[in-house]
């Protein structure tokens, strides 16, 4: 169960007190006024915020944090971090289960006439509680029985999602395994159509679900076992005892004596066994510390969390950490124990139990911070049992990563759609998934003029005038071409030859130019200022939209085409960069009207669309489906919605180590499947623009130019003769 809040403490010395002051770090899910309440009076604790459990782990490693309360899934993830020596000093348990060493234990139950040999389960009717329902009890935990009992197979011609279902279909008979088999909706439907046997024991075979809601899915699985001729199920021990009346002073029910517990060693135990064999154990929430402060905090914590009838800051801390219905459990005589040693889920996390034969997904990263975040995502995916594995590749630049992907040295990366056309036409890459943005995160391309410009009153008037763009073949360049084609102002002229002296960075850079295209005119970079630390005035640099506006502001150009959101401070902020005074400019809307100022609506913009996407190389349909499915699984478990609901093992769209736009853009709220989310206006707007652009070397202008050159050659040959 994910913790209500992950709590972190930083030691600092209070010069007015003899005791150290410990800083408690609260997650976004923690109410601020509750957190501040622990600072009342002579408190030894104060609050500070963190983003997620990974943020907590990093602060623990850096010595900025002393301890935290972690959920089981968070503990599994952090135990993979071998760079930090973490100790467990106590547990937080439910009050009515304080004597139970685990929060939940999973048991396998079969009909008593079966011997217990796993091979004898082949063809038997399987009742499962369901997959894809909960982040608190992951599919990796609830499908451990399947991984242990069903022989692993490698069917490389199937997607990873289908392979999992296929081997179950081959092994079990009529069954019910409800839930989400694949995050890709079309694949999920296809799998349930191909393998209907795994839904035949469900209450609704067409929807592959039980009648009971998800909160009662374990009871539904037990009903499938006893009322629908099921032969094997896998449920929590507490649910089994309740269903069969196995608690003390309870009466047997639901034909309890017809069933036995199945053990990992292929033996059985009577259903009346008080302490049966278990397959997987879900621990309680752990209070975890760094090793160098573990002894001190272990001694302090009982006074803070177990003292009754106190009305000072300790009662507020106790409420914040464990609430009204839980208790802090510790062993005074026991030394703090290493987290990796203490954490035992009964083999659930044994990598050898995870079948599959997929090659790793290679994620290209731009710097050390991205590389570290990528590795944490890889570890988190592993704890949830997602396939394929993630391998992080060190890159240096966006264009360098695009080159790596094109050369099969990496598989994916996230890019701004500013580079979308370049990725497609220069490197032959394509969208894997789109990154659904906040509304303020979508791009909005504007045609900007100075207020005192009285000569340009239409797009046609821009011919042979001075222009500034952020970069060649970027969104602003494409938006102009698209608008020009819609207004029929290019005629037979290639866009490269439409303007006069201009600044269009990247026009001579092979990384931005379509292979095989004709040489661009020198005028495309003739008014570019030489960037600092560069001898090439036509090389794009950071702050490309700001640079284009400065080119206009300093009188070097007559107009500029820019992404409005690239002019804002902090990316998603609504405040213009301090270098830009909106009152000095006006915007030419796509319909040819002119509006004063820069704050215009989307209808005025030349184009709007999605801000970012995950890009990849063209691959087999199987490999592509695996990558899409993995990314959608990550989004489900570590995206915005999951983080808001569960508290956040990892918030993969949020900033990381204080830096923004790490791996994903901060404006991302979810991932959109490029093959299925066809009604997404901002995606359609972007892809339509890409499809409407014609390369310069394919234009009528170039055809005519080539024809003229041919005529001159023939004439020269004739004169020579």
Q: How far apart are CA 77 and CA 553, in angstroms?
A: 51
Sign of CA dihedral 304, 309, 310, 311: positive
Does the pLDDT value for residue 8 go beyond 90?
A: no
- Looking up tokens 């901002």 gives 682
CB 288 within 8 A of CB 67: yes
Q: How far apart are CA 213 and CA 570, in angstroms?
A: 44
Secondary structure class of 415 (helix, strand, coil)? strand
Q: What is the pLDDT of residue 706?
A: 39
Tens digits of residue pLDDT in 625-665:
999 999 999 999 998 877 555 557 899 999 999 999 999 98
CB 240 within 8 A of CB 104: no
CB 482 within 8 A of CB 685: no
Buried b (16+ CB within 10 A) or exposed e, 58-91: bbbbeebbbbbbbbbbbbbbbbbbeebbbbbbbb
Q: How far apart are CA 356 and CA 359, in angstroms?
A: 9
Does the pLDDT value for residue 618 go beyond 90?
A: no
Q: How far apart are CA 579 and CA 470, in angstroms?
A: 16
Does the pLDDT value for residue 701 go beyond 60?
A: no
Tens digits of residue pLDDT in 290-320:
898 899 889 988 988 887 777 888 888 888 8
Burial of 508 (0-12, 13-18, 19+ CB in 10 A): middle
Q: How far apart are CA 111 and CA 256, in angstroms?
A: 10
CB 447 within 8 A of CB 574: no
CB 435 within 8 A of CB 668: yes
CB contact set of 57 (below 8 Å; sequence gap of 6+): 77, 78, 81, 84
Q: Which of 256-265, 458-467, 494-503, 702-711 has the lowest mean pLDDT?
A: 702-711
Q: How far apart are CA 702 and CA 710, in angstroms?
A: 12
Percent of the chain clearing pLDDT 90 (strictly above) = 55
Q: What is the pLDDT of residue 573?
A: 62
Average pLDDT along the chain: 86
Secondary structure letter of residue 174 according to DSSP: S
Report which secondary-structure segment, H or E, holds 261: strand 259-262
Q: Which of 36-40, 442-446, 649-653 has the lowest mean pLDDT?
A: 36-40
Does the pLDDT value for residue 6 go beyond 60?
A: no
CB 84 within 8 A of CB 62: no
CB 472 within 8 A of CB 505: yes
Cα dihedral 168→169→171→175 (10° resolution):
90
Residue 414 Ramachandran class (φ > 0 left, ψ -120 to 50 alpha, else beta): beta
Secondary structure letter of residue 503 according to DSSP: B
Tens digits of residue pLDDT in 542-594:
789 999 999 998 888 999 999 999 998 754 467 888 888 889 999 999 999 99
Tens digits of residue pLDDT in 308-352:
777 888 888 888 888 888 999 988 888 899 998 888 899 998 877
* 364 — pLDDT class (breaks 50, 70, 90): very high
Mean pLDDT (whole number) for 93-120 = 94
* 516 — pLDDT class (breaks 50, 70, 90): confident
Does the pLDDT value for residue 363 go beyond 60?
A: yes
Helix 368-383 crosses helix 621-638 at what angle (to 10 degrees)?
A: 90
Residue 198 vs residue 709, higher pLDDT: 198
3-state percent breakdown (helix, strand, coil) of the chain, nearest 5: 35, 20, 45
Buried b (16+ CB within 10 A) or exposed e, 563-584: bbbbbbeeebeeebbeebeeee
* 696 — pLDDT class (breaks 50, 70, 90): low
Cα radius of gyration rounded to whole Å, the chain: 31
* 47 — pLDDT class (breaks 50, 70, 90): confident
* Model pTM score: 0.89
CB 205 within 8 A of CB 199: yes
Mean pLDDT (whole number) for 115-134 = 93
What is the maximum alpha-carbon separation in the chain? 116
Does the pLDDT value for residue 4 go beyond 90?
A: no
Residue 509 vs residue 443, higher pLDDT: 443
Does the pLDDT value for residue 276 go beyond 80?
A: yes
Buried b (16+ CB within 10 A) or exposed e, 198-236: bbebbbeeeebbbeeeeeebbbbbbbbbbebebbbbbbb
Q: Is the peptide bond before 388 cis (omega within 30 degrees of 0)?
A: yes
Q: What is the pLDDT of residue 521?
A: 86
Buried b (16+ CB within 10 A) or exposed e, 372-395: bbbbbbbbbbbbbbbbbbbebbeb
Helix 217-227 crosses helix 237-244 at what angle (to 10 degrees)?
A: 50
CB 172 within 8 A of CB 198: yes
Q: What is the pLDDT of residue 708?
A: 39
* 36 — pLDDT class (breaks 50, 70, 90): confident
Cα dihedral 335→341→345→347 (10° resolution):
-150
Tell me the C-alpha to C-alpha distance, in Å, between residue 652 and each of 28, 404, 634: 14, 23, 8
CB contact set of 308 (below 8 Å; sequence gap of 6+): none
Report which secondary-structure segment, H or E, holds 706: helix 700-720
Q: How far apart are CA 510 and CA 477, in angstroms?
A: 17
Tens digits of residue pLDDT in 386-438:
999 999 999 889 999 999 999 999 999 999 999 999 999 999 999 999 999 87
* 697 — pLDDT class (breaks 50, 70, 90): low
**DSSP secondary structure string, 94-129?**
EGGGTT-SSSEEEEEEEETTS---GGGGTT--EE--
Residue 477 vs residue 3, higher pLDDT: 477
Does the pLDDT value for residue 70 go beyond 50?
A: yes
* 135 — pLDDT class (breaks 50, 70, 90): low
Does the pLDDT value for residue 1 go beyond 50?
A: no
Percent of the chain clearing pLDDT 70 (strictly above) = 89
Q: What is the pLDDT of residue 709?
A: 34
Does the pLDDT value for residue 711 go beyond 60?
A: no
Residue 653 is labelled as binding a ligand:
no
Mean pLDDT (whole number) for 170-175 = 97
Buried b (16+ CB within 10 A) or exposed e, 321-345: bbeeebbbbbeeeeebbebbebbeb
Q: How far apart are CA 9 and CA 64, in angstroms?
A: 8
Does the pLDDT value for residue 16 go beyond 60?
A: no
Does the pLDDT value for residue 512 go beyond 90?
A: no
Q: What is the pLDDT of residue 26?
A: 72
């Amino acid at each position: 169960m994910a913790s209500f809040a992950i709590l972190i403490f930083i030691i600092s010395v209070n010069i007015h007190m003899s005791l150290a002051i410990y800083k408690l770090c609260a997650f976004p899910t923690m109410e601020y006024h509750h957190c501040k309440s622990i600072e009342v009076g002579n408190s030894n604790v104060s609050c500070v915020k963190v983003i997620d459990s990974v943020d907590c782990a990093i602060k623990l490693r850096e010595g900025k944090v002393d301890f935290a309360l972690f959920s089981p899934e968070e503990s599994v993830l952090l135990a993979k971090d071998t760079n930090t020596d973490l100790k467990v000093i106590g547990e937080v348990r439910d009050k009515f289960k304080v004597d139970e060493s685990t929060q939940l234990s999973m048991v396998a139950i079969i009909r008593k006439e079966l011997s217990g040999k796993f091979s004898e389960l082949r063809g038997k009717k399987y009742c499962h509680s369901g997959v894809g329902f909960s982040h608190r009890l992951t599919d990796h935990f609830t499908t451990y029985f399947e991984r242990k009992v069903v022989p692993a197979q490698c069917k490389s011609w199937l997607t990873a999602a289908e392979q999992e279902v296929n081997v179950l279909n081959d092994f079990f008979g009529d069954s019910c395994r409800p839930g989400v088999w694949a995050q890709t909706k079309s694949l999920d439907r296809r799998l349930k159509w191909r393998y209907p046997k795994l839904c035949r024991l469900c209450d609704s075979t067409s929807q592959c679900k039980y009648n009971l809601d998800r909160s009662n899915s374990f009871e539904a699985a037990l009903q499938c076992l006893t009322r629908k001729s099921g032969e094997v199920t896998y449920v929590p021990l507490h649910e089994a005892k309740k269903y069969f009346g196995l608690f003390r002073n309870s009466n047997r029910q639901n034909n309890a004596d017809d069933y036995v517990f199945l053990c990992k060693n292929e033996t059985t135990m009577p259903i009346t066994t008080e302490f049966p064999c278990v397959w997987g154990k879900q621990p309680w929430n752990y209070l975890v510390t760094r090793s160098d402060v573990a002894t001190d905090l272990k001694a302090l914590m009982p006074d803070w969390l177990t003292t009754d009838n106190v009305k000072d800051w300790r009662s507020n801390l106790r409420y914040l950490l464990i609430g009204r219905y839980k208790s802090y459990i510790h062993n005074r005589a026991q030394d703090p124990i290493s987290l990796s040693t203490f954490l035992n889920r009964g083999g659930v996390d044994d990598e050898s139990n995870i079948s599959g034969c997929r090659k790793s997904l290679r994620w290209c990263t731009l710097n050390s911070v991205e590389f570290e975040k990528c590795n944490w995502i890889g570890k988190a995916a592993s704890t949830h049992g997602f396939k394929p594995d993630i391998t992080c590749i060190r890159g240096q630049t966006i264009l360098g990563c695009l080159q790596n992907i094109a050369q099969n040295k990496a598989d994916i990366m996230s890019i701004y759609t500013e580079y979308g056309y370049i990725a497609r036409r220069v490197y032959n890459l394509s969208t894997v998934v789109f990154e659904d943005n906040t509304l303020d995160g979508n791009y909005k391309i504007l045609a900007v003029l100075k207020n005192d410009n009285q000569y340009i009153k239409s797009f046609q008037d821009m011919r042979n005038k001075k222009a500034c763009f952020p970069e060649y073949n970027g969104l602003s360049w494409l938006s102009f071409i698209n608008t020009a084609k819609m207004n029929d102002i290019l005629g037979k002229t290639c866009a490269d030859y439409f303007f006069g002296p201009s600044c269009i960075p990247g026009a001579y850079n092979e990384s931005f130019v379509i292979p095989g295209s004709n040489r661009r005119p020198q005028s495309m970079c003739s008014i570019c200022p030489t960037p600092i630390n560069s001898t090439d005035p036509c090389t794009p640099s950071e702050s490309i939209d700001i640079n284009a506006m400065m080119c206009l502001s300093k009188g070097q150009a007559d107009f500029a085409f820019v992404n409005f959101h690239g002019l804002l401070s902090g990316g998603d902020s609504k405040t213009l960069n301090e270098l830009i005074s909106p009152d000095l400019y006006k915007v030419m809307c796509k319909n040819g009207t002119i509006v004063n100022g820069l704050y215009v609506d989307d209808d005025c913009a030349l184009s709007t669309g999605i801000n970012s996407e995950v890009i990849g190389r063209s691959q087999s349909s199987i490999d592509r489906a695996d990558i899409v499915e993995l990314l959608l699984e990550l989004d489900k478990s570590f995206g915005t919605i999951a983080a808001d609901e569960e508290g956040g093992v990892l918030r993969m769209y949020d900033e990381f180590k204080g830096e923004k736009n790490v791996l994903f853009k901060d404006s991302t709220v979810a991932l959109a499947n490029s093959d299925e989310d066809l009604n997404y206006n901002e995606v359609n707007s972007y892809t339509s623009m890409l499809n409407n652009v014609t390369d310069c070397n394919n234009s009528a202008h170039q055809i005519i130019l080539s024809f003229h050159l041919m005529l001159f050659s023939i004439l020269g040959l004739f004169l020579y003769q």
